[in-house]
Amino acid sequence: MESFFSFILYPVSAILWFWHKVFGTVLGPDNGFAWALAVFFLVFTLRVVLIKPALSQMRAGRKMAKFAPHIQKLREKYKNDRQRMAQEMQKLQSEHGVNPLGGCLPALLQIPVFLSLFHVLRNFHPGAQSNFIFDKAGVDSFIQADIFGAKLSNWITQPASELALFGTDRTSMMIVGIPLMLIASVATYFTMRLSVKKQTDASMANPQSAMMAKFMMYIAPIGAIVSGWFLPIAVLLYWLANNVWTLGQQHFLTKKIDAEQERERQKEIEAKKATPRPKPGQKPVRDAKAEASSEEGEAATATATEAKPSKPAPGQRPGGKPGGKKSQPKNRPGKQASRAKKRR
């Protein structure tokens, strides 16, 4: 594990070292609360880096909520053809610029950080000459530090002999560890509850996801209590700080995104108001330039029509009348002469 996570282990231990120097200068290097605050601010530093992905995650969730009815229609339309359904849903997501994996990014990035912190804390043990960034003095400082008698690198279910090596006992570990587990569990519940509440609209498109989210809302707090018996006190501090930060961050980012959507809605309303509309019973007013150009076009068409010679109707000779018979004048010179001879 050390070789695989070495690119994360050193940065994590360096951040912890920095904040311990800051708070150790004020409270003392061996003070347990200085180390606890160092763990808290390690979490806060890492979560600040992840604010941008978290904001993208929430924006993606809002987009998913907008076209949730379209997804539901696709599910009903292609319920017997899962391959076609997946293709259409992928097409819809690409058209709206939504990445379904974007919502998992902040959580996935925290997993290696959590494992790295756990590994760093496990390496604080008596006799160690160094621990990544920490030298022997830093290792000894962490081992000597305690909060009300509970050592930060130990856990409740650890064998009594090992606890004795660190100068603590199970009772002291339980006095500090159990309240931390309960507080972390409550913070986890409210964090999950707020997340489920904000995903209500998006869950219309996927009832299975909504059911799973509600299930996790109750399972995750129980998991915090159960796993707390096997995790070092410093990891419980990390878990508590992480949930407290998440709870505050969700409130902050939710207000930010609500404000963004409200501004977009106001812009759309102003754009509609700026477009002139005819009053009830009033004919739409045509643009003067468009009307002038239309009149010029009609005049040109009429001129071209007049200048073009008309074609004779079917069965009509040029200059003749319809019907194919040539019209003849009433008095012709030949007939007048023959009539005159007969009279004579």
Worst-scoring range by mean pLDDT, 45-59, 99-113, 183-197? 99-113
Quick check: 140 pLDDT over 70?
Answer: yes
Specify the higher pLDDT residue, 30 or 101: 30
Residue 295 to residues 14, 33, 128, 286, 301, Cα–Cα distance (Å): 79, 86, 95, 12, 10
Quick check: 266 pLDDT over 50?
Answer: yes
Q: What percent of the chain has pLDDT over 90?
A: 23
Give the whole-angstrom CA distance, residue 237 versus residue 37.
9
Give the whole-angstrom CA distance, residue 102 versus residue 145.
40
What are the tens digits of pLDDT across the range 198-252?
A: 655 444 445 666 677 777 788 888 988 998 899 899 989 988 898 888 888 888 8
pLDDT of residue 325: 47
Worst-scoring range by mean pLDDT, 75-89, 273-287, 322-336? 322-336
pLDDT of residue 84: 80
Q: Which of 125, 128, 177, 184 has its CA nearest to residue 149?
A: 177
pLDDT of residue 3: 59
Best mean pLDDT range from 80-89, 151-160, 254-263: 151-160
The H or E element that residue 109 is part of is helix 105-122
Specify the higher pLDDT residue, 230 or 325: 230
What are the tens digits of pLDDT across the range 290-320?
A: 455 555 555 555 554 555 455 555 555 554 4
The H or E element that residue 150 is part of is strand 150-151
Give the whole-angstrom CA distance, residue 265 versus residue 315.
68
Q: Are 116 and 5 in contact (CB under 8 A)?
A: yes
Specify the higher pLDDT residue, 339 or 23: 23
Maximal CA-CA distance, the chain: 165
Q: What is the pTM of this model?
A: 0.68
Beta bridge partners of 171: none
Task: Report domain extents, the chain.
Answer: 6-272
Worst-scoring range by mean pLDDT, 3-7, 26-30, 186-190, 212-216? 3-7
Residue 53 to residues 45, 188, 262, Cα–Cα distance (Å): 14, 20, 22
Q: Which of 104, 139, 113 has its CA nearest to residue 235?
A: 113
Task: Take residue 95 and report the two structure tokens written for it.
Answer: 């058209």
Interacting residues of 328 by C-beta distance below 8 A, sequence separation 6+:
none
Amino acid at 176: V
Give the whole-angstrom CA distance, residue 179 versus residue 115.
23
Give the whole-angstrom CA distance, residue 252 versus residue 246.
10
Residue owning tokens 């790295």 = 116
Q: What percent of the chain has pLDDT over 70?
A: 68
Specify the higher pLDDT residue, 128 or 22: 22
Give pairs for 132-138: CB < 8 Å, separation 24+. Answer: 132/9, 132/10, 132/13, 132/14, 133/10, 133/13, 133/14, 133/16, 133/17, 134/13, 134/17, 138/17, 138/20
pLDDT of residue 18: 95
